Amino acid sequence: MKRIDEEKFISVYDENADAIFRYAYFRLYDRERAKEVMQEAFMKTWEYLQSGKKISNVRAFLYRTAHNLSVNEAVRHKFFSLDEMREVAGFDPEEVRQNTPDTEAEYRLVLAKIGELDPADRDVLLMRYVEGLPVSEIAEALDEAPNTVSVRIHRAIGKLRASLDIP
């Protein structure tokens, strides 16, 4: 590829690396492995582009690659529960540090309940509400129709509400 393409790819990296890392982290609950998955997703994307192939939506392609790598990793390793992440890995998201104990308790409860959802439901909720991806990009990343993704998000929210006893 030309030098300008390398500069564009560096820009894509700068814009998306943190989000891809967070996505991998919430799938794997292992900071080092999530960093490796993020780096591997960018390497595979670079290699794909180097082979002369075109990508219409690089961000969706990165999420799909990170998703596939995370799934492969999950098959090889055991998941930590959110409580284990806090105890073993020292995980303490900045958002948990709220002003009131009630808000913090509610946040921890929601995180725990999201962690109990099946991986497919957890993924769509994280992509939509943590990463802020539009349904069209989630659909492209998961290789599904946008309507299917919308329904999955709606059903995942329903499951989360039910587990939290919210009408």
User: Tens digit of pLDDT for each residue in 48-90?
Assistant: 988 888 888 999 999 999 999 988 876 665 544 555 555 544 5
Domain segments of the chain as ranges: 3-163
Q: Compute the distance between CA of residue 137 and CA of residue 61 in angstroms, rounded to an integer.
A: 9
**Residue of 93 and 15 predicted with greater confidence:** 15
Q: What is the pLDDT of residue 84?
A: 53
User: Tens digit of pLDDT for each residue in 13-22?
Assistant: 999 999 999 9
**Angle in degrees, 0-180, between the axes of helices 135-142 and 58-76, rounded to the nearest 10:** 50
Tally of CA atoms within 13 A in the half-sphere of 10 that contains its CB: 7
Indicate the CATH number for domain 3-163: 1.20.140.160
95 pLDDT more than 60: no
